[in-house]
Amino acid sequence: MKLPPFEYACPTTINEAIALLASHDGEAKPLAGGQSLVPMLAFRVASPSLLVDLRKLAELKEIKIADDGVTLGAMVRWRDILDEARLRTAHPLLVAAVEHVAHYQIRNRGTVGGSIAHADPAAEMPGIAVTCEAKIAVVGKSGARVIDAANFFQGPLMTALKPDEIITEIRLPAWPAKRRFGFQEFARRRGDFALAAAMLFYDEDAGSARNAHVGAIGIADRPLRLPAVEQVLNGNTIDEAVIAKAEAAASASVDPDDDIHAGGAYRKALIGVMVERALKSAAA
């Protein structure tokens, strides 16, 4: 389908990008890889008057790995994450999740910031951000601010971003070397959006789990942490009995709607199975 008409700008500084976004009464939109925005234009789900292409903003393309964590520039692509070998130890859960994002061509263009801003409830990166307590750095005409991932996602394709703001960075807290983790996703075909996925990590003290973080996507209008599952894990050895309790707690924690892809009852059962498998792989 043909796209609706729009103006196009390709700024070379962040300030210029913000000024352009602020100049169109909320009708301008940033363009990252176009992997969600262009289909939305084609289907008339969005019809912005101006597209502000972020591709020349080199400072948004950096991956920084430091003692206090991993910082992903908003224009870092899925391919960049998979190609950065240091991330396999600096943030293995992130890498495990990104391996499930879309297909080869889309991973070459799609970006971390675009995914976070798009806020698809079944997308992996928003799930990782919520599960890992990421901070999302944004900048707009009234200055810079940092938003906790827990407060960023407000519903399907809805976020705390203002129309003149762009995401600059996603900051993930440091990842201890011995941390245990698991990521499990069920999709119709590999690379399709998840029907449901579970992502989790925990640290260990004398054989018992502590600091458990469990997240889920595809089962609500936004990515969720599952505190009832974390409670089952913390203070316990992750054995068959605890895993069974965690599976039941995961299913009981969610109330997904029916949609064209799956019934709510199916997704409710599925997220339990995903948590079970993720825990088994974490404990192995």
Ligand X SMILES: Cc1cc2nc3c(=O)[nH]c(=O)nc-3n(C[C@H](O)[C@H](O)[C@H](O)COP(=O)(O)OP(=O)(O)OC[C@H]3O[C@@H](n4cnc5c(N)ncnc54)[C@H](O)[C@@H]3O)c2cc1C
Residue 278 neighbours by CB distance under 10 Å: 28
By beta-carbon proximity to ligand X, the closer residue of 167 and 254 is: 167
Q: Which is nearer to ligand X, 117 or 250 (CB)?
A: 117
CA-closest candidate to residue 165, choices 38, 22, 7? 22
Report in angstroms how near the CB of residue 62 gets to ligand X at its nearest: 13
- The Cα–Cα gap between 166 and 37 comes to 15
Q: Could you tell me whether strands 158-159 and 166-173 are parallel, antiparallel, or unpaired per DSSP bridges? A: unpaired
Question: For residues 111 and 253, which CB has a smaller minimum distance to ligand X in the complex?
Answer: 111
| Spatial contact of 162 and 243, defined as CB atoms under 8 Å apart | no
Query: How far apart are CB 202 and ligand X at their closest, in Å?
Result: 24
Between 117 and 275, name the residue whose CB sits nearer to ligand X: 117
CA distance 170 to 28: 22
**Nearest distance in Å: CB 117, ligand X:** 3
Nearest to ligand X of 192, 203 (CB atom): 192
Report the nearest approach of ligand X to the CB of residue 80 (Å): 12
- Closest to 145 (Cα-Cα) out of 157, 137, 155, 156: 137
Structure tokens of 1? 């389908």
- Residues in contact with ligand X by CB under 6 A are 29-37, 39, 54, 74, 101-102, 106, 109-111, 113-115, 117-118, 123-125, 161, 166-167, 191-193
Minimum CB distance to ligand X, residue 203 (Å): 27
